[in-house]
Structure 1
């Protein structure tokens, strides 16, 4: 049955992720005005959704692209704190890992406070973390401020923005996801220039302070993410009228149990065990992340080690961003065509395979022309991978379980994202060569692409075989049959040889 159409634009925009208390405040005292109204409305696929899409693009530009652009200060941090490659690489590694690992906690905040408030809180937290990191006196201080605090703020801004976008667009969802993924490209194309300019003018400490102010723009983006459907009404109000306990230990225990229950719900362990496709996709993406972002972290140090000018090295990242900006929108339009429905995973795997093979280009030379070819090839394949990642996940699970599935996938990714760059730094410290890093990334990403491609092909072939297999004929039982039941325990004389029911046809 089609949902009831709202009578005004305010009802159509409704509540999507806002807390229940806010909805009750809007209703005012007394019973709800429309108790039989449906809990959700059709996604607008436009309208205010375009504003939300623009805000999501900016949020992704300030969050997902930031850890890669912080590499502009890699050599400055290494000299300032006299750290090794492995120690310095922990800063963007922790930032990226926390960005993904905070998914379950972010889902709890979204359920309690809504997407809008969570995005705004993430902007404040990330800006505060970067501002405080400018006063760091050791590399460990950067791990906490720029790594943990800023990364957690990125998580609180990034994941709710992606979630609410999925509710605003259904028919145009592949196009919306592709357009939102250009935010990462926008950040990669602009932030390196900004970071390089700030480093020359203010040094790395002044740059971190200014970048903290820039990250506060996530608050503005979160403010326009208006919810779209109402929350379910409260079942009863009797819980609020119950007497409050004075036992502090019992109160704390209840809070901890509630938090643990929410985390179990948001981690989607049941979905991981029951949904084979989601399990395969999660394992493949987790393995992929071990080598997917490492080339971006070591591209600028690799070029600088070959005496390339830092500005030209930063230009490589900007070119990578511009390639994504111009490629992702047409890719989103192309993959929105009906023919690609059900085939997104194969296009994603093929692009991931090309992306992994492109890392081997860096092994030829560290000259600007060679690295330019690498950046163009890597950027083209990265555009397709970034455009389809969320689309494939939405195709794999139901939209109602997407936030919890994204939370579990994010925390799985965080493990490999955390250990990947330090392992690469350890390899550089031992060999003094960056080429081994790019060779290792080639092997890792190629293996993950082949795993996803062949496993999903096997699953599709198995499902097709089940559909094509003839159904078993039903057993027809004649209507003129006499049924004799199994005798009870007290009947000692008539004991059948079998305990099953006997059917005798006349």
Structure 2
């Protein structure tokens, strides 16, 4: 951001908003990305996203105004990043069921490592090639996403794999019965001693056909969805208005209204996190420290995030803490860590605050997918993830602009930091109903 301030004279609020626009649109395009994942799969979606992200960054290096910079670095790059970012938890959910929290945490550790490495790399590239050359080279590096996306392998859900094997078994049984119909009559006792698995096969065929006829003849009947963990989720469409069933996102909110509390929580978290991520380097520069030390503060935020993402899953997967309880504790610690910045009011305070925010947000973001999987199961996971990204994007756009606007009006970041600490605490209060609901669900 300091390079943009020197190049473009549009104020802290506008430039802070543009700097975070790529991250914001990455999340705002979540519902759009979920449609692509459902239609084309994770591999094709990741390839398309990697190409868009790289192209947007390369074109942004030629920008001569904030409008052009927003279109390429914000819109095009953000849409590409959204396609890539949403595919990761989806492809992991297909391959990991027992240790899903750990898998997601390790995968998103790469984001935190990037936050810790790229500020120092970008500072060096800007000093050598200018901000235009730095963005161009980073766009070229982003082409590696395409290579990584080629390694994605789709794995069908367990119940679908069982259906295929059961169908083949049923076909073989029908052939055997047809052949045995030509045997003498005294062999009928052999047919009456069929195995239990053959009987189960017939039962599955009858039940499946009965359910299909029931669902087609009775539009108000209940629909049963079985996910990979063999959990049955019943959704009654008779209580929904016709317009609610047309949009998957609206249908999700209508059938599971408690998830709105979780979305509001992630919206508030994104406001505070975007403000810290976008403006903390500029705050350090305004305190009189060189840009290299400012980059180190942002790198410390990324290091803390890598630690939180990598190790939080171990506590959840080993049942030391429930996902919702750990999420609630992380929100409270994030609020306290944000307050360390204005209280200490020096470089050391900025570093401590950045590390604390990095660790807690590193826990919050990947853990949110685990909580959604517990609440909804896999059958609505893609739609729920897309909506979560949308609320994240709204928070990012709001937080980056709000922090810059407060600085433009007051001439300092101190007031804004107190506000963002209060938003973390408010998010903890909003999330309490979700914690209560998940505990009751576990007891039942």
TM-score under structure 2 length normalisation: 0.76
Shift of 1:463: 6.2
8 Å Cα contact 1:107/1:404 also seen in 2: yes
Indicate the residue corresponding to 1:434 in structure 2: 413
Indicate the residue corresponding to 2:371 in structure 1: 392
8 Å Cα contact 1:110/1:118 also seen in 2: yes
1:92 and 2:22 matched: no
Can you list the C-alpha shifts for 1:366-411, whole angstroms capped at 9, x where unaligned?
Answer: 4222222222322332332234221112112111210001112222
8 Å Cα contact 1:266/1:408 also seen in 2: no
Partner Cα separation in structure 1 for residue 361 and residue 29 of structure 2: 24
Query: Alpha carbons of 1:406 and 1:387: their partners in 2 closer, same or farther (altered >3 Å)?
Result: closer
Query: Alpha carbons of 1:266 and 1:219: their partners in 2 closer, same or farther (altered >3 Å)?
Result: farther
Indicate the residue corresponding to 1:319 in structure 2: 300
Can you list the C-alpha shifts for 1:36-94, whole angstroms capped at 9, x where unaligned?
Answer: xxxxxxxxxxxxxxxxxxxxxxxxxxxxxxxxxxxxxx121112111200110121332
8 Å Cα contact 1:188/1:318 also seen in 2: yes
Indicate the residue corresponding to 2:190 in structure 1: none
8 Å Cα contact 1:188/1:320 also seen in 2: yes
1:270 and 2:251 matched: yes
Query: Alpha carbons of 1:281 and 1:118: their partners in 2 closer, same or farther (altered >3 Å)?
Result: same
- Please, which runs of 5 or more residues in structure 1 have no aligned partner? 1-73, 234-262, 468-506
8 Å Cα contact 2:272/2:399 also seen in 1: yes
SS at match of 2:270: helix
Identify the match of residue 459 of structure 1 among 416, 437, 441: 437
Can you list the C-alpha shifts for 1:338-372, whole angstroms capped at 9, x where unaligned?
Answer: 353xx211210111111022111111354222222
Partner Cα separation in structure 2 for residue 146 and residue 376 of structure 1: 27
Can you list the C-alpha shifts for 1:392-431, whole angstroms capped at 9, x where unaligned?
Answer: 1211211121000111222223222212211221110010
Shift of 1:295: 1.1
Report which structure shows greater RCO (CA 8 Å, sep ≥6): 2
Indicate the residue corresponding to 1:370 in structure 2: 349
1:67-466, aligned counterparts within 5 Å? 74-229=1-156, 267-340=248-321, 343-453=322-432, 455-459=433-437
8 Å Cα contact 1:331/1:387 also seen in 2: no
8 Å Cα contact 2:303/2:355 also seen in 1: no
8 Å Cα contact 2:27/2:82 also seen in 1: yes
TM-score under structure 1 length normalisation: 0.67
8 Å Cα contact 2:20/2:278 also seen in 1: no
Query: Alpha carbons of 1:265 and 1:357: their partners in 2 closer, same or farther (altered >3 Å)?
Result: farther
SS at match of 1:110: helix
Shift of 1:292: 2.5
Shift of 1:464: 8.6
- Please, which runs of 5 or more residues in structure 2 have no aligned partner? 165-243
Partner Cα separation in structure 2 for residue 384 and residue 113 of structure 1: 30
8 Å Cα contact 2:324/2:438 also seen in 1: no
More deviation, 273-282/112-121: 273-282
Shift of 1:268: 2.3
Q: Comparing both structures, which one devotes a greater share of its residues to helix? A: 2
Can you list the C-alpha shifts for 1:102-142, whole angstroms capped at 9, x where unaligned?
Answer: 12221222222221111011111011111111111111111
Query: Alpha carbons of 1:433 and 1:365: their partners in 2 closer, same or farther (altered >3 Å)?
Result: farther
**Which aligned runs of 4 or more in structure 1 are off by greater than 4 angstroms?**
230-233, 263-267, 460-465
8 Å Cα contact 1:348/1:385 also seen in 2: yes
Query: Alpha carbons of 1:366 and 1:314: their partners in 2 closer, same or farther (altered >3 Å)?
Result: farther
Partner Cα separation in structure 1 for residue 137 and residue 90 of structure 2: 29
Query: Alpha carbons of 1:301 and 1:182: their partners in 2 closer, same or farther (altered >3 Å)?
Result: same
Query: Alpha carbons of 1:432 and 1:365: their partners in 2 closer, same or farther (altered >3 Å)?
Result: farther
Shift of 1:279: 2.3
8 Å Cα contact 2:268/2:395 also seen in 1: yes
Query: Alpha carbons of 1:406 and 1:213: their partners in 2 closer, same or farther (altered >3 Å)?
Result: same
Partner Cα separation in structure 1 for residue 252 and residue 305 of structure 2: 32
